[in-house]
Amino acid sequence: MSDLGLTISTASGERPRRRRKVDAFPYLLLAPAALMMIIVNLVPIVQGFRMSLLKLNQYTLSQFMDAPFIGLRNYRGVLFDPTNPVHSGMLGALRNTALYSLLVTVCAVAIGLGVALLLNRDFPGKALARTLLMLPWVVPTYVVGTLWGFMWQRDEGIINHVLVDVLHLMDHKPFWLIGSNTFFAIVIPTVWRAWPVLMLIFLAALQAVPEELYEAARLDGANAWQRFRNITLPSLMPVIVIQVMFQIIDNIYSYNIVAMMFGKGAGYPGEWGDLLMPLLTRQSFSYWRFGEGAAVSFVMMAVMLVFVALWMRTFRRSMTSEA
């Protein structure tokens, strides 16, 4: 009967179905890496989400994962309860983080791209210049925060000394770590450390642009701005889009520089200097609000997942375009 069915299907033009043989060897090779990814990433995420559903504070910390279950009460408190200290501080930190991320990203990308364009030219000592310009990025962020914290000091700091005593740009020495100046005191060191690696990435992308395109544009009479707008910028657009996304994510989760300037995370940098990650660390480890801190972490993670999805969808064509 089966032979008859095979004969009929063959006669009617249909090919007999064959079972696809699955080779298990590639999956065996990937299994250790997949297991490590689960252990390193998935397990902490699940445990963190479970913590956000518990009343985990200084009174229940000894119980840890056996602390009282309160469901979504932590989320409701940090998002909608005006009497909740995490909620009241989070609104200001959210404003600061958004402005901070936008300003740092724009400045770092602009400076990195500008310096990359300069270093893409031929001049004596180009290799040495590239090496020296990478020094800010080599310095760890903890060291950057500590050094700039000393540099921003009102009386002993070198910044006020240069601005007031050397360049005479100001008639008095301002406070940089108090008040609204705090915002610029954390933006400038972050930009200072971030732009060199962007410069290196953009420089590598510039060297991949065919020189023939520039030669043809020069023959057509295009000036430097026209060559940049019509050749350089479109060629770099996939790199720029990806790096801007990475910079925004990195700046939203920025912690080390602010932490080292203002008391290793426990200190309060003031109304204009508080960011989401220092706020989260302070509320969790200084005020023992572990459940609410975990809730804030998952809210941030959800927002960033939505942001990445929208960014990838919006700039999908730009990220796959070719020069």
Give the CATH number of the domain where residue 225 resides: 1.10.3720.10
pLDDT for residue 19: 63
Cβ burial, residue 48 (10 Å; 0-12/13-18/19+): middle
Token couple for 249 = 């994510």
For residue 322, the tally of other CB atoms under 10 A from its CB is 6
Residue 278 maps to a domain = yes
Number of domains in the chain: 1
Domain of residue 295 covers 95-320
pLDDT for residue 271: 85
Residue 30 maps to a domain = no
pLDDT for residue 267: 67
Distance CA 189, CA 147 (A): 9
Residue 57 maps to a domain = no
Residue 186 maps to a domain = yes
Residue 114 maps to a domain = yes
CA distances from 46 to 65, 85, 262, 265 (A): 12, 26, 32, 25
Residue 117 maps to a domain = yes
Distance CA 323, CA 309 (A): 25
Distance CA 183, CA 95 (A): 11
Pick the closest to residue 255 from 284, 278, 235, 274 (CA basis): 278
Mean pLDDT by groups of 10 residues along the chain of 323 residues: 47 57 83 90 89 89 87 91 85 92 96 93 86 90 91 91 89 89 94 95 92 89 90 92 94 90 73 89 86 91 93 83 47
pLDDT for residue 1: 47
Residue 246 maps to a domain = yes
Residue 123 maps to a domain = yes
